Amino acid sequence: MDKIESFLGTVGGIVWGPFMLIPLLLGTGIYLTFRLGGIQFLRLGAALRLGLIKRKDDDAEGDISQFQALTTAMAATVGTGNIVGVATAIGIGGPGALFWMWVTALLGMASKYSEAFLGVRFRTTDTAGEKSGGPQYYLERGIPGGFGRFLALAFAIFAVCASFGIGNMTQGNSIASNLERSFAVPTWVTGAVLAAMTLVVLVGGIKSIGRVTAGFVPAMILFYVLGALYILAVNIGDVPAAFATVFSEAFTGSSAVGGFLGSTIMIAVQYGVARGIFSNESGMGSAAIAAASAQTTHPVRQGLVSMTQTFIDTIIVVSCTGLVIITTGVWNQTDPATGQQISAAIMTGEAFTHGLPGQWGHWIVTVGLVLFAYSTILGWAYYGERNVERLVGRGGVMPFRVLFSAVVFFGCTVQLGVVWNFSDVMNGLMAIPNLIGLLILSGLIARETRHYLRHDPKLEASRAEIEAFMRGQPGWEDWKASERSVHR
């Protein structure tokens, strides 16, 4: 197992290194930002209003509302990456890593828009009458020939593998270990309860997942963010200095101080980008799977709603975590018991404990981590089953749900060094075919986006108005035909 873990660590270092995925992610984000005219900056307000206030398109086809599709995708992304991932990035890459997480998010919003747009644009209907879409479909349907089919199958295989890793065992393990450390709950008890809860929700399909995530995802984010904002308010005098440190060290790196691991600018970039993607999943293609189930009157509308997920995840939640860690000074403190830097696993908890009275900080981080991780399990379960449906048909969905729930118990009760490395590799490998596809299909995305936004810049058009200005457009007719088709 040590050799396997070492091998996976080496492969992960290559996949997430400075010569493969990092330039591909950043390059794709930059390219799509220019091709789409900075859509993430110009349309963010309208997108937030549609996704969070209006929440749905009336009389639109789909399985769940736009808001439920958004919260399902947020359930999968707002997880341990927002707590432990941020601490890992800052602990190794220094405060400057937070800057590169912001850069990744702002550029990644264009990638998130594009993949969600394509998820709806090329979605189909399965034999149970549910919408199904994502890179496993749009790579094949949008890119003609064997290359598109190869990219689609590669994504589907890697996504199923990743769903058992980062979307299942690692999340369950985080929940079980935190409950055991904080409240002395045996890991097998946590595993049994978590597996049963997961199965109950999954049996109901995407409509059940959508109802659950729409109910508790906003509440859990608000609960965590309010705790962080209280700490920042108490330490308001240190906030400007924290921002200054983030910006300065993003371009200079950090020198070794106390127990801090000395880092160069390249390490800050590498960990900022890698943990940023781990947190918000922009460019991985996963959110497009949830977007494809949305009740929406046009792919552009759901693409913009899905784009707000990255903004909420990284610009809001990750920023809160990072600034709390920096303003409390925990990021470069040493653990008295070991004489070494405080580990990433407990760094955020220590920061919140420093910033809040009594045990409130510890409880907020523990409860937040449990809720974030469980929501990730639900979101990734849906991602996994949609790719299973693509590979083997609808008949494989229920066996997958049962197996996925059983593996949750396994993840809660074993050590997962190998699984963490395996998850990093699978996440990276599923992003590669998707990013290639986004670059190839960027012309289609830009063309159809421009036409729609020329007629409905504020996203206020009714279904009848959309039908009127889209009539006769090739993309419109293709989408309507694709929606009516049944994938077997």
* HEC profile of 23-71: HHHHHHHHHHHHHCCCHHHHCHHHHHHHHHHHCCCCCCCCCECHHHHHH
Q: Which residues pair with 42 in a beta bridge?
A: none
Question: Residue 132 in 3-state DSSP?
Answer: strand
Q: 125: part of which helix (H) or strand (E)?
A: strand 124-125
Decide: 56 and 295 in contact? Cβ < 8 Å: yes
Decide: 344 and 84 in contact? Cβ < 8 Å: yes
Decide: 98 and 272 in contact? Cβ < 8 Å: yes
Alpha helices of 122-145 — where are they, by DSSP H? Answer: 135-142
pLDDT of amino acid 167: 86
Report which of 316, 300, 264 is spatially closest to residue 106, judged by C-alpha positions: 316
Contacts 24+ apart (CB under 8 A), 348-353: 348/83, 348/84, 348/86, 348/87, 348/321, 348/324, 351/231, 351/324, 351/325, 352/227, 352/228, 352/231, 352/324
What is the full per-residue pLDDT of the chain (488 aa) written as tens digits? 778 778 887 887 788 777 788 888 889 999 999 999 999 999 999 999 999 998 888 878 888 889 898 888 888 777 777 777 788 888 877 888 889 889 888 999 999 999 999 999 999 888 888 888 999 999 999 999 999 999 999 999 999 999 998 889 888 888 888 888 778 899 999 999 999 999 999 988 888 888 888 887 888 888 889 999 999 999 999 999 999 999 988 877 654 343 344 445 667 776 677 677 667 778 889 989 999 999 999 999 999 999 999 999 889 999 999 999 999 988 887 776 666 777 776 788 888 888 888 778 878 888 888 888 888 898 899 999 999 999 998 899 999 999 999 999 988 888 767 777 787 788 889 999 999 999 999 999 999 999 999 999 999 999 899 999 998 887 888 887 776 666 65
Backbone angles phi, psi at 345, to 5 degrees: -60, -30
Question: Residue 148 in 3-state DSSP?
Answer: helix
Query: pTM, whole model, 2 decimals?
Result: 0.90
Decide: 197 and 406 in contact? Cβ < 8 Å: no
Residue 424 tokens, joined: 């990093």
Report which of 422, 410, 418, 415 is spatially closest to residue 194, judged by C-alpha positions: 410
Q: 131: part of which helix (H) or strand (E)?
A: strand 131-132
- Give the C-alpha separation, 48 to 51, whole Å: 5
Which pairing describes strands 131-132 and 124-125: parallel, antiparallel, or unpaired?
A: antiparallel
Residue 331 tokens, joined: 């990021």
Q: What does each C-alpha distance from 79 to 161, 296, 334, 387 come to in angstroms?
A: 18, 27, 26, 21
